[in-house]
């Protein structure tokens, strides 16, 4: 099934039968990807006296409660409400779901005791391209990213200068294969978050950051159409399923 999408007066064809899922699924396991010092997520049947919501345990239905944190336990998309006093909901602010996106691969640079993504790197990768969304894959890119326990590991992060550059270039949707665009322990400064959403000026309410993606090595760098699928949570962030589609010739 093919579809034609028009953006900026230009039409693109994609094949809806060939999605490239770049999300990490959430599972009730200690091997579920994790960050921010949280316990593993739980998926367990409801129990009410002698009744258990599990077909395997005699019920007519499976009826589970799910306990998780969207920021800590997998792919999630967040809005400016993540860092503001005023409540902003991802469900209220993300109103479009298809975007022209560029996938880039970056080898993080060493900066003192950290590994970072600099303005120079994203500037070189994007060049003169104008994109609504940017998908950043860091290397090395091993499948252990889907189960890594990130707490107290000081993961790679985005420098403030890079976030400013992306904002000024008009990138509205930033996706990255790390638990955060910011340093794990930064005294609450969250420089890249604030810079990307422009909280010091007119906040970009329609801009989003998606963290904890995983872009397989089979997905080549280049231009794609991106579909960001979220659950309709009235919260600053929601679990999400970003999906790429190759653009047909």
Residue 49 maps to a domain: no
**What's the structural domain count of the chain?**
1
104-113 pLDDT, tens digit each: 999 999 999 9
Q: Is 109 strand, coil or helix?
A: strand
200-235 pLDDT, tens digit each: 999 999 999 999 999 999 999 999 999 999 999 999
**Domain around 76:** 2-26+70-246
Residue 64 maps to a domain: no
The CATH number for 115's domain is 3.50.30.50
Residue 31 maps to a domain: no
Q: How far is the CA of 174 from the CAs of 17, 49, 101, 159, 196, in angstroms?
A: 25, 47, 9, 14, 9
50-106 pLDDT, tens digit each: 999 999 999 999 999 999 999 999 999 999 999 999 999 999 999 999 999 999 999
Residue 145 maps to a domain: yes
Residue 54 maps to a domain: no
Find where tokens 């000026």 sit: 201
Record the pTM. 0.96
Residue 92 maps to a domain: yes
Residue 32 maps to a domain: no
Residue 169 maps to a domain: yes
């Amino acid at each position: 099934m093919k579809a034609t999408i028009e953006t900026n007066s230009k039409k693109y064809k994609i094949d809806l039968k060939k999605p490239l899922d770049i999300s990490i699924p959430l599972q009730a396991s200690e091997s579920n990807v994790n960050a921010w010092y949280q316990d593993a997520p739980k998926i367990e049947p409801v129990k009410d006296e002698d009744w258990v919501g599990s077909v395997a345990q005699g019920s007519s239905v499976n009826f589970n409660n799910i306990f998780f944190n969207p920021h800590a336990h997998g792919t999630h998309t967040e809005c400016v409400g993540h860092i503001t006093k005023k409540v902003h909901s991802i469900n209220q602010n993300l109103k479009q779901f298809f975007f022209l996106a560029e996938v880039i691969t970056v080898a993080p640079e060493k900066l003192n005791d950290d590994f970072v993504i600099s303005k120079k790197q994203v500037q070189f990768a994007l060049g003169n391209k104008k994109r609504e969304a940017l998908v950043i894959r860091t290397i090395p890119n091993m499948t252990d990213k889907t189960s890594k326990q990130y707490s107290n590991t000081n993961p790679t992060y985005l420098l403030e200068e890079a976030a400013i550059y992306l904002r000024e270039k008009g990138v509205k949707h930033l996706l990255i294969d790390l638990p955060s665009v910011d340093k794990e322990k930064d005294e609450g400064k969250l420089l890249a978050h604030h810079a990307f959403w422009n909280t010091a000026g007119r906040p970009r309410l329609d801009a989003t950051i998606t963290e904890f993606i995983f872009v397989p090595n089979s997905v080549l760098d280049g231009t794609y159409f991106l579909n960001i699928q979220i659950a309709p949570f009235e919260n600053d962030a929601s679990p999400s399923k970003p999906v790429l589609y190759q653009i047909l010739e």
